[in-house]
Structure 1
Amino acid sequence: MNYRKFFSAFCVFILCVTMLSAQVVNAGEEKVASDTIPTYPGGQKAFRKFIKRNLQYPDYCAQFGAEGVCTMVFVVEANGYISSVSAKDCKITQMNSGKSERYSDDQLKAIKKECARQMAKEGLRVIRKMKTWNPGKKNGKPVRLIHSLNLTFGINYVDDEM
């Protein structure tokens, strides 16, 4: 199956755009909750559209039918720019058993680790590509905040030519 051909049918699910933490980050200050969280310009719908247009399913993962969830962590600066992007956690939730059953446990472990690394790498690329956000606020003033969200990588085998 040509995965690039079916990329338009590939479903990138944002199962959760979960606010795992919204903490003011200023040097020398205690971390405290903000009054408002950062938001993507245009809201959730615009964010999902951006992700769907920009997130690419890694070829390596396609070889094994790997699906997974990556928790991405980044800072939304007081001016709305994105900084300090990292993949906090990336887990493989499913693999095509027909493609993975021919490998030893050690080989499968290495394959899953590389799939998780490839998904994290793609998540980093896409987050860094995002435009300026609407910053979070504390006492009415824009503040630097840590933001976390889950990106779910899934594959849809529906032919887009139907």
Structure 2
Amino acid sequence: MKLLVRLGLLFTITSTFSIRVVAQTTDTTKLPKDTSKIFMRVETIPEFKGGNEKFAKFLNKNLKYPKQARIDKIQGTVILTFVVEKDGTLSDLRVIRSVSPELDQEALRLMSILPPWVPGTQGGKPVRVQFSVPIGFRL
């Protein structure tokens, strides 16, 4: 079985992996930590520590294709939005383009277990930045 992880328009990584099904019931939505301004554009954008290639490897390693979605042959791209906080943690994680409840939940779970990012900066100081990520699910 192949998994396709697509990160924006930069590149696509395809790899073969075995699927382990684990039930996840954790609510991954976090409340914003800070009430200061959220930037949409900044001088330096936030990034996963290690860059896009490490981000893709993290997703590929930790993704667990939901059993029912696999049985029903559901595929597609879930788009998530979140805020990268001044300390690099992620908050206000939401699905803005859904594929199915199972794939949406897996995309949210993946993002909720990410380590902190390198925060975005404006004027040389870390700021809160709204960010979106597409996560592609392909059988």
TM-score by length of 2: 0.76
State the match for 1:40 in structure 2.
48
Identical amino acids, percent of aligned pairs: 28
More helix by share: 1
Q: Indicate how the Cα distance of structure 1 residues 31 and 39 shifts in structure 2: closer, same or farther if over 3 A, else same.
A: closer
State the shift of 1:36 in Å: 1.1
Does the aligned pair in 2 maintain the 1:74–1:84 contact within 8 Å?
yes
Q: Does 1:51 align with 2:63?
A: no
| Residue 12 (structure 1) aligned with residue 8 (structure 2) | no
**Uncovered stretches (5+) of structure 1, i.e. residues with no partner:** 1-8, 19-25, 92-115, 156-162
Give per-residue Cα distances to partners, 1:122-151, cap 9 Å, x unaligned.
011000000010000011110011110111
Distance 1:148 1:27, change over 3 A: same
Q: 2:120 maps to which residue?
A: 136
CA shift in 2, pair 1:45/1:148, >3 Å: same
Q: 1 or 2 for the larger relative contact order (CA 8 Å, sep ≥6)? A: 1
Choose between structure 1 and 2: higher strand proportion.
Answer: 2
Distance between the aligned counterparts of 2:127 and 2:87, measured in 1? 8
CA-based RMSD: 2.0
Structure 1 segments, 4+ long, off by >3 Å, are 26-32
1:80 equivalent in alignment to 2:88: yes
Task: Please tell me whether the aligned partners of residues 12 and 51 of structure 1 are also in contact (alpha carbons under 8 angstroms).
Answer: no
Q: CA deviation at 1:14?
A: 1.3
Structure with max Cα Rg: 1
| Cα pair 2:78 2:97 within 8 Å, conserved | yes
Q: Distance in 2 between matches of 1:149 and 1:60?
A: 24
Paired residue type of 1:150: P
**Counterpart residue type for residue 85 of structure 2:** E
Q: Cα 1:10–1:34, aligned 2, differ >3 Å: closer, same or farther?
A: same
What pairs up with 1:105-116 in 2 under 5 angstroms? 116=100
Cα 1:149–1:17 shift into 2, 3 Å: farther
Task: Structure 2: give runs of 5+ residues left out of the alignment.
Answer: 11-33
